[in-house]
Amino acid sequence: MTRKKTIFTAAVLAALLAACIIVDMTLPTYHIVVTVIKKATVYSLVAVSMNLLNGFTGLFSLGQAGFMLLGAYAYGVLTIPVEKRPGVYQYFDGGAIKFSIPEIFSGFLGDTVGTVVGMLAALLIGGLLAALMAYLIGLPVLRLKSDYLAIATLGFAEILRAFFQWNALGPITNGSNLLKSYPAFSHATPYVVMVGLMIAVILLLITSTYGRAFRAIRDDEVAAEAMGINLAKHKRMAFIISSFFAGIGGGMMAMYMGTIAAAPFKSTLTYEILLIVVIGGIGSITGSVLASFLYIFSSEWLLRGLDSGTFFGINAPSIFKNGFRMVVLSVIIMVIVLFFRKGIMGDKELPDLLDKKARMRKKEAAGK
């Protein structure tokens, strides 16, 4: 990468971070802008993790919601303060787990630092659990290819969801009741910083020798194997790493939502993420992030009016009622898919935008 590109990328990222900090300082935490940023960053992380698997390694997996569910539950179960547990687990005698990680850390790090460290530790544990589950699921499932892999992972996610709602597990998962009262970041900046760092790690992985091996597997498995790339090992690695970040994404989603239940982690969630990956461009990290923000921005904010009667000053309660938003969103998505065949970014990244502009400028100059 040239120096110009590095400066350009750093400038864009710094500007975005600055904007986010300004938003945090000026707007109240319940403001729609803060909500959009929080949700979109969480979706970005999960979309990028899915892109790592589906876009860069060529494994078509639909298990993302399952791994997010694991991360979310791990986060909730481990961070609910002890004194609030009887209230949360009211049908299960206060639950089986009698400790809370943030409180343990608060014991020797002080309240504020301890809570934050505890929350991060719980997120990490959620990620590791998801990774462990991915390892186990991967043993049989990764022998499958394309559609079959998708069906198997989709099935796993659905089973996991049903399993977590099972009453016998109630003392831990609270059965089909909500988990709540756990600590969460209310500002948008912590989300942006955390997700930013994790995406940076994924980016480093993708540009490393292992990332190149993943792309070789995607392009031609037979050639990759003949060139000494162990297919089973590398596929498992990609699956585990992707699930690890999906687990953390799930934990952050729990943080953003404020309550945890198994219901939101349906396959619909996976499809939403898949949609974002496809719209952004399969094989583009920038694309996944950009598409997450566009998707969440339009579905949560811009098109809200379509559900509630008034949209851009047009008042038509008979048309703009519940569900119309999704109709419009679907049309927009179809248009995007028609006109951007390879997604918004294709397989380009942020620094490559500079290339394109430079090339267009050259073309214009040549035209004159």
Q: Rounded CA gap, 188 and 256, in Å?
A: 10
Segments in 208-230 forming alpha helices (H) = 209-219, 221-226
> Would you say 93 or 220 has its CB closer to other proteins?
220
For the bound state, the minimum distance from the C-beta of residue 241 to other proteins, rounded and expressed in Å, comes to 8
> Would you say 60 or 210 has its CB closer to other proteins?
210
Residue 248 contacts residue 126 (beta carbons within 8 Å): yes
> Would you say 117 or 205 has its CB closer to other proteins?
205
> Would you say 347 or 352 has its CB closer to other proteins?
347
3-state secondary structure 67-108: HHHHHHHHHHHHHCCHHHHHHHCCCCCCCCCCCCHHHHHHHH
User: Tokens at residue 119, please?
Assistant: 């929350």
Contacts to other proteins by CB under 8 A: 201, 204-205, 208-210, 212-213, 215-216, 218-220, 222-232, 237, 241, 283, 347
> Would you say 21 or 132 has its CB closer to other proteins?
132
> Would you say 212 or 357 has its CB closer to other proteins?
212
The partner residues of 315 in beta bridges, in order of sequence, read 310
For the bound state, the minimum distance from the C-beta of residue 123 to other proteins, rounded and expressed in Å, comes to 19
Q: Rounded CA gap, 178 and 258, in Å?
A: 10
Q: Rounded CA gap, 287 and 21, in Å?
A: 23
For the bound state, the minimum distance from the C-beta of residue 199 to other proteins, rounded and expressed in Å, comes to 13
The partner residues of 311 in beta bridges, in order of sequence, read 314
Q: Rounded CA gap, 244 and 13, in Å?
A: 25
